[in-house]
Structure 1
Amino acid sequence: MKITLVDSSSAELGSCLIGYVGGEIADRGHLVRRVIPARPNCFVQIILEGSHALHDLKTRQRLEAPQAGLFGPLTHYRYDMEVTGQLRTFSARLQPAAAALFFRVDPVTLVDGFIPITLPDGLLEQLRATPDWQGMAAPVDEWLKSLTAGRVCNDPVAREASRQRMMRGTVPIQDLADSAGLSLRHFQRRFRQLTGLNPKHYARICRIGHAVHRKELEPDAPWTDLAHEAGYADQSHFIRDFKALTGTLPRDFLRGQTPILRYPKWDS
């Protein structure tokens, strides 16, 4: 799997949008299955070519992904992604609270699930006709700006959730609450309203997510080093969290996975 990171061209969307991802899976002539680990935030996915399904490990159902969908945070390893043939997607990674602002949905209802969304007339065709990933950012920027009606994601709790993600889940929850100017109890309640997750679990997902993505991009990196980067001083604690959020042990995670090639390369 090859993914390309694309920046938004709109400063106006900075508080709501992390950035874009162009994704490609080549036709391998057989079914390709990828583990989908827990993730902290919502994203919008637009399928440009091909299709894919999600195998629900809980219900044993095979769910076809919509042409355009809003995907919520995942609290644990719940789905495998199944692809037959070529797949091309363009996705928007959303900041905390952005899903509610853009699509008027309660983030709690999106946890561990997804919903189809409607694209503006002509947007899908425009994206398909655009020859490069960077060129797709501008039309999607304009669509997302049309959904905000000039509002921004300026909630202090959402801001602290973004900071937690950027710091790989290592900021103490009390520090986040203090920075937001709220009591710990009020902060925890508001955090769940905005993200669908409690702040402690959100931090765990950020920490394990960092280790997972680093391993996918650098398969030879030792798990002990990645655990340390993610803020784990206790290797057994890391292994317990990893198993809970990815469904497997660290040593087994890449087994059977198609490798991820990311552009630009990991830079931190």
Structure 2
Amino acid sequence: MMTTNRADHARPLHSEQPWFVLSAARHYDLILSRNPVISHFYGFEADQSQALTFAVPDGCIDILFDCDARRAKVCGTTLAARSAQLTHQHRYFGVRFAPGVMPDVLNIGAAELVDTEIDLQELMPNSTALLDNICSLSNGHDQASLFERFINGHRHRRIAPATEHALALIHRHQGNILIRELEQQTGYSIRTLQRQFSTDLGLSPKVFSRIVRCQHALHDMHHQPQIVFADLAFERGFSDQSHFLREFKKFANATPAQYLNTIQHQGYQARIRQMPAQNARSEATIIA
């Protein structure tokens, strides 16, 4: 569980899964969480009549409930854009944990979840009641409240101080930081950082930094009125526009130009319906 109180800790950008938003038949609901170990909740009805849905790297663990099939799966972060199997017209509810959070209710190591999806009941044999209760509810707020009550009664694996410090710096620099700079600023050796990071997140600091940097590029494309790709590549620390193009295409399964055209023509922002939870942290900003 990430519990840093460091002054230089920057609030992580909430991870985005844009292809899920674009696969929503109507609204894509986003619900704030009162629990800091949860990034946010989300819900939507899948419309798979047009195109495939892709999961993009986000550095997070999700639990995705298929409410119509009454099944759920645990999804680790992908390392590149990967096809996500959704069922047409099925109603989904998702829990996205914050980066670095590994709930102890899941009987698996962080590294084993990377680029993998596993049935929830395989990792949490006593989850039948939770699954049935979540899937029986039709209101996203009620589902979120139920899951928060459940998770508040369980612990989360604590991460090593080296990982905690490195995570704070990576978020502070929005992914644009070199491993040798992490070594200098944390006081831990590269070998220690890589070992602890891999144990706690299943990723190397370099890979996680690349994910954070690309997530920030997505955020810019969703929220800035005018995008010049050369400027965006420079601002996000890519060596040049070609480097940005290669990284982004691997990350999002589209070139930056193709992706920007898609979200503009499909009304990306209009699909998102933000639903703040009761007594949620007012300073939090939630995106898809």
TM-score category by the smaller chain?
0.7 to 0.9
Within a 5 Å distance, the mapping from 1:127-146 to structure 2 comes to 127-128=134-135, 130=137, 132-146=139-153
Please list every run of 5 or more consecutive structure 1 residues that lacks an aligned counterpart in the other structure. 51-65
Please list every run of 5 or more consecutive structure 2 residues that lacks an aligned counterpart in the other structure. 1-20, 22-26, 275-284
Worse overlay, 90-99 or 158-167: 158-167
Aligned counterparts of 1:178 and 1:104: Cα–Cα separation in 2: 35
* Partner amino acid, structure 2, of 1:262: I
**Offset at residue 163 of structure 1 (A):** 4.8
CA-to-aligned-CA distance 1:204-262 (integer Å, 9 cap, x gap): 12111222344356686443454345333622221121133333322223566765433
Among 103, 107, 132, the residue aligned to 1:104: 107
* Partner amino acid, structure 1, of 2:116: G
Among 163, 177, 188, the residue aligned to 1:182: 188
With the length of structure 1 as denominator, give the TM-score of the two structures.
0.73
**Offset at residue 192 of structure 1 (A):** 1.5
Among 253, 263, 272, the residue aligned to 1:262: 272
Q: Is the 8 A contact 2:46 2:86 kept in 1?
A: no
2:116 aligned residue: 113
2:24 aligned residue: none
Aligned residues: 243
Among 92, 95, 114, the residue aligned to 2:99: 95
Q: Is the 8 A contact 2:28 2:43 kept in 1?
A: yes
Aligned counterparts of 1:254 and 1:74: Cα–Cα separation in 2: 21
Aligned counterparts of 2:67 and 2:267: Cα–Cα separation in 1: 21
Bigger share in strand = 1
Q: Is the 8 A contact 1:216 1:259 kept in 2?
A: no
- Higher RCO structure, 1 or 2 (CA under 8 Å, sep 6+): 2
Aligned counterparts of 1:210 and 1:81: Cα–Cα separation in 2: 25
Aligned counterparts of 1:220 and 1:81: Cα–Cα separation in 2: 33
Identity %: 21
Which secondary structure state, in structure 1, belongs to the residue aligned with residue 80 of structure 2?
coil
2:131 aligned residue: 124
* Partner amino acid, structure 2, of 1:156: P
With the length of structure 2 as denominator, give the TM-score of the two structures.
0.69
Aligned counterparts of 1:4 and 1:229: Cα–Cα separation in 2: 30
Aligned counterparts of 2:41 and 2:134: Cα–Cα separation in 1: 13
How large is the Cα RMSD of the aligned pairs?
3.3
**Offset at residue 187 of structure 1 (A):** 0.6
